[in-house]
């Protein structure tokens, strides 16, 4: 017998104390087990209520996943605990009627609902329920992830209960034994200065400023920022006055620069004009410098992502919009806020789970408004692309705080404008830049490790963006180096907490928590498994190709391969895995042919 550590509910100094549970020798291993991953809890007599009926089997629980193994040896699946949004007890041991009435219901962030039945006589539900709460919500429970990690903490690191820190430690400990060596460190894939250099910055019009080097100007902004050279010349005090007029000090900064026309895409937060229409001459002058940096135009297009009604409500709360700025033209894009989007996804889930209402499916999809919200983002991004590419105008994009809808618009516009972002590396750079470094609140929007299923901060904003990219790929399949499996992998790892890429709410928070040193980047996995994500139809081309999305409802689709992949009545079991294997084989054959052609030419 081997002793493996699990955790009781006793609390000591704000952390969870350690107790021992004995597990059999044959119970400690299973296929796909990660380095350092240990079985912490097991229930050998449990039923899973699948869409096609009850399947008996056992549940294994580790610090990373819940694993169900059906006794039929056919039904087996893993659910990373980061996917879990809510755990509930169903029924009561003394009053429940029927064999399915007593058990546990698990609600997941990727639209799954998992129902397990327990035997009242065995009293096995309580230990499993408590273990699920403990490990699925480590932040809420302040869970100590490993005794060795306590020693690690004593070396000066902040306490971190999220699994990504344990996973990285286990990889480090296993590397000398396995001889494995990381080919690419994913944390180095994005270098802000190198990305600006790729766009030709610094130049006469744009410079790299040290303004936020210590994150003391705007703590939700990245360390490296680019602003107009004339603004930098005015000094820090001037820029601080501009910052006082913008929500969270998020002043206009450069996201993308057209390689030929110097038309720019900049981003910021809303101005704090309030009901009195308070003006800030310094902020107005700042925007004029963005106009002056582009010799092809004499105006700045300002895209406010919000519905105008919402913008006016924000104005009553001290926010506002640029209604009286010289040389500026303001447009509202009518993209709804996080609360509306969250409710929309809930309705879409009801369309696809647990069963599809065949007669009313299209009506229910329409009532969810999910595609309507996707359409509004696409329409806004297309307007930005048109202004920058066709009209040579510079644009400024913002919503309220500039970290949700703003990121959707800038990144979706940039992937249409710049083919670099349609490569695997470039797409990683785009996400790191426009989402991670510019302060999208991943921790709050996803709820990493927290038992707060009704938290109003949660919203599938990033999921919307990835959905929009999938829509674009459907329209221009040959223009992307990567396939849709990369998109689903990114969304899965958004929830799973195995990598540090999407942890916390800002670049500063990831730096403070030493993510680059103490966790593995998602992009390490992606680059090392690049063949899995290659698109065999990709044709790079020799010239810069700009894509213009079609936002018509006749073209947009529900992304069933993602949203309905766990419903066997919509997506046949095994079909996605078979498709993945076929793509890998095709990419392998294409690579071999290209290699032979190159050898023949030599």
> Where is the binding site for substrate, in residues?
314-317, 337-338, 399-405
Among candidate residues 268, 351, 399, 515, the one labeled active-site is 399
Q: How far apart are CA 479 and CA 547, in angstroms?
A: 9
CB contact at 8 A, 128 and 484: no
Give the C-alpha distances (Å, rounded to integers) separating 35 from 171, 181, 521, 525, 526.
6, 14, 16, 14, 18
CA-angle at 454, arms to 448 and 460, nearest 5° = 60
Q: Which two tokens stand for residue 480?
A: 């992307």
**Which residue shows structure tokens 């936002």?**
551
Burial degree of 194 (CB within 10 A; 0-12, 13-18, 19+): exposed
Q: Is 581 a catalytic residue?
A: no
Q: How far apart are CA 407 and CA 468, in angstroms?
A: 12
Give the C-alpha distances (Å, rounded to integers) separating 287 from 55, 236, 325, 425.
63, 16, 9, 32
Q: How far apart are CA 367 and CA 544, in angstroms?
A: 39
CB contact at 8 A, 108 and 81: no
Alpha helices of 418-506 — where are they, by DSSP H?
424-431, 442, 461-475, 484-496
Q: How far apart are CA 570 and CA 295, in angstroms?
A: 53
Q: How far apart are CA 201 and CA 420, in angstroms?
A: 16
What are the backbone dihedrals phi and psi of residue 66, each rounded to the nearest 5 degrees, phi first?
-105, 130
DSSP, residue by residue, 88-103: EEES-TTT--STTSSE
Buried b (16+ CB within 10 A) or exposed e, 149-187: beebeeeeeebbbbbbbbbbbbbeeeeeeeeeeeebebb
3-state SS track over 550-580: CCCCCCCCCCHHHHCCCCCCCCCCCHHHHHH
3-state secondary structure of 356: coil
CB contact at 8 A, 493 and 502: yes
Q: Which two tokens stand for residue 277?
A: 């229409």
**Which residue shows structure tokens 């899973």?**
48
What are the backbone dihedrals phi and psi of residue 78, each rounded to the nearest 5 degrees, phi first?
-115, 140
* Residues noted as catalytic: 399
């Amino acid at each position: 017998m081997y002793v493996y550590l699990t955790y009781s509910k006793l609390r000591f100094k704000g952390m969870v104390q350690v107790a021992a549970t004995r597990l059999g020798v044959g119970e400690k291993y299973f296929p796909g087990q990660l380095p350092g991953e240990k079985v912490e809890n097991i229930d050998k007599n449990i039923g899973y209520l699948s869409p096609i009926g009850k399947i008996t089997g056992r549940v294994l629980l580790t610090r990373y996943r819940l694993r169900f193994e059906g006794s039929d040896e056919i039904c087996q699946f893993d659910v990373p605990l980061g996917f879990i949004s809510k755990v509930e007890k169903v029924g009561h041991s003394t009053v429940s009627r029927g064999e399915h009435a007593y058990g546990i219901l698990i609600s997941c962030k990727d639209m799954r609902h998992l129902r397990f039945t327990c035997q009242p006589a065995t009293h096995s539900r309580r230990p499993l329920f408590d273990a699920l709460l403990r490990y699925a919500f480590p932040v809420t429970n302040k869970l100590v992830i490993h005794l060795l990690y306590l020693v690690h903490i004593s070396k000066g690191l902040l306490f971190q209960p999220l699994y990504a820190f344990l996973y990285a430690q286990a990889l480090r400990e296993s590397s000398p034994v396995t001889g494995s060596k990381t080919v690419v460190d994913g944390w180095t894939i994005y270098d802000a200065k190198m990305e600006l250099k790729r766009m030709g910055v610094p130049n006469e019009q744009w410079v790299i400023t040290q303004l936020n080097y210590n994150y003391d100007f705007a703590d939700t902004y990245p360390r490296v920022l680019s602003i107009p050279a004339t603004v930098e010349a005015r000094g820090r005090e001037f820029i601080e006055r501009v910052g006082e007029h913008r929500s969270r000090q998020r002043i206009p900064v450069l996201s993308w620069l057209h390689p030929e026309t110097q038309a720019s895409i900049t981003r910021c937060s809303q101005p704090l004009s309030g009901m009195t229409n308070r003006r800030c001459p310094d902020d107005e002058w700042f925007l004029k410098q963005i106009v002056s940096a582009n010799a092809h135009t004499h105006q700045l297009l300002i895209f406010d992502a919000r519905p105008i009604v919402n913008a006016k409500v924000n104005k009553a709360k001290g926010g506002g919009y640029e209604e009286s700025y010289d040389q500026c033209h303001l447009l509202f894009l009518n993209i709804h806020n996080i609360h509306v989007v969250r409710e929309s996804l809930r309705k879409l889930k009801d369309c696809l789970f647990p069963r599809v209402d065949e007669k009313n499916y299209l009506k229910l999809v329409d009532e969810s408004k999910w595609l309507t919200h996707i359409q509004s983002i696409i329409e806004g991004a297309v307007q930005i692309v048109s202004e920058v590419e066709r009209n040579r105008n510079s644009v400024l994009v913002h919503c309220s705080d500039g970290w949700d809808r703003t990121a959707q618009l800038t990144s979706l516009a940039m992937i249409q404008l710049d083919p670099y972002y349609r490569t695997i590396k470039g797409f990683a750079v785009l996400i790191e830049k426009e989402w991670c470094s510019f302060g999208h609140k991943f921790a709050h929007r996803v709820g990493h490790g927290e038992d707060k299923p009704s938290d109003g901060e949660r919203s599938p904003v990033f999921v919307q963006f990835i959905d929009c990219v999938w829509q674009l790929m459907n329209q221009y399949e040959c223009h992307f180096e990567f396939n849709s499996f990369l998109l689903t992998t990114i969304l899965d790892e958004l929830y799973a907490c195995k990598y540090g890429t999407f942890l916390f709410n800002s670049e500063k928070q990831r730096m403070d928590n030493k993510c680059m040193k103490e966790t593995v980047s998602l992009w390490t996995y992606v680059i090392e498994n690049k063949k899995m994500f290659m698109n065999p139809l990709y044709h790079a081309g020799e010239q810069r190709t700009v894509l213009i999305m079609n936002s018509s409802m006749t073209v947009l689709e529900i992304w069933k391969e993602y949203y309905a992949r766990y419903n066997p009545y919509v997506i046949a079991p095994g079909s996605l895995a078979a498709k993945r294997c076929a793509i890998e084989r095709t990419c392998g054959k294409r690579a071999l042919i290209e290699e032979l052609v190159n050898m023949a030419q030599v």
